[in-house]
Amino acid sequence: MTRRIGRRLIAAAALVLATAVTGATASAAELKGPGYEKAMLCSACHGFNGASRSDAVPVLAGMPAWYFKKAMEDYAAGRRVSPEMEPFSKEVRLLGVDALANFFAALTREASPVRADRAAAERGRAGSAKCAVCHGPEGLGDAAKRVPPLAGQPPGYLRNQMLLFKADKRSPGDPALKQLKAVMQEFSEAQLADLAQYYSSLR
């Protein structure tokens, strides 16, 4: 185990303890299963039970298992470049990606506590028609078409991912994402920020 992962586990344990002390709770069903103890690895950044409180870190609670697994594969392979996530995605594969993916998918879907800017969200809603074609009118995605949900994710995280797609820095050369990246090119950075606020505001 690397020092970085060791530090992450210590921080995760402290987070879980702090959560218990402050009275935050989770259902008994959510605290069982083969993925719970393994999910401690993710807690320091993604929050207890995947309920991220950060504007820049995605919520894992309720994330579809197929998308969690794809994200881990992409980070581990370098298709999604992240010096922080690459080593942890490889650790997740060693721990058992299926158990972790299923654990987070079974949790009640969480929405980011980061407040969306109302005016920006309204502008984003007005310009979201092209996004809704794939992600749906409520931003819930389409598992059959391998389209992930956007609703309730932190606005900062959504904006950053949209910018990466626009610049072809996320999964460069992936033919399955060609259409998405073409759509991103049609929006300015300010418009993408508004879209991120809108989708984050959906519950």
What is the DSSP code (8-state) at residue 115? P
Name the token pair of 42. Answer: 């993710």
Domain-ending residue, one of 106, 134, 156: 106
In a domain, 164, yes or no: yes
Q: Which among 80, 9, 71 is positioned nearest to 45, based on CA atoms?
A: 9
Whole-number pLDDT of residue 34: 67
Which CATH number goes with the domain that contains 44? 1.10.760.10
Question: Tens digit of pLDDT per residue, the chain (203 long)?
Answer: 455 544 454 444 444 434 433 334 454 445 556 678 888 889 989 999 999 999 999 999 999 999 999 999 999 999 999 999 999 999 999 989 999 999 999 999 889 999 999 999 999 999 999 999 999 999 999 999 999 999 999 999 999 999 999 999 999 988 989 999 999 999 999 999 999 999 999 98
Whole-number pLDDT of residue 92: 92
For residues 76 and 126, state if they share a domain: no
Q: Rounded CA gap, 136 and 24, in Å? A: 32
Name the token pair of 121. Answer: 């969200």
Domain-ending residue, one of 81, 106, 131: 106
DSSP, collapsed to helix, strand or coil, labels residue 157 as helix
Which domain, by its residues, includes 139?
118-201
For residues 95 and 155, state if they share a domain: no
End-to-end CA distance of the chain: 38
Is 104 within 8 Å of 50 (Cβ atoms)? yes
Q: Which among 26, 104, 102, 7 is positioned nearest to 58, based on CA atoms?
A: 104
In a domain, 182, yes or no: yes
The one-letter amino acid code at 131 reads C
For residues 10 and 101, state if they share a domain: yes
Whole-model pTM: value is 0.83
In a domain, 30, yes or no: yes
Task: Tell me how many domains the chain contains.
Answer: 2
For residues 83 and 163, state if they share a domain: no
Q: Rounded CA gap, 125 and 172, in Å? A: 28
Q: Rounded CA gap, 187 and 195, in Å? A: 10
Q: Rounded CA gap, 97 and 73, in Å? A: 9
For residues 139 and 98, state if they share a domain: no
For residues 97 and 35, state if they share a domain: yes
Q: Rounded CA gap, 101 and 136, in Å? A: 23
Q: Rounded CA gap, 190 and 196, in Å? A: 10
In a domain, 66, yes or no: yes
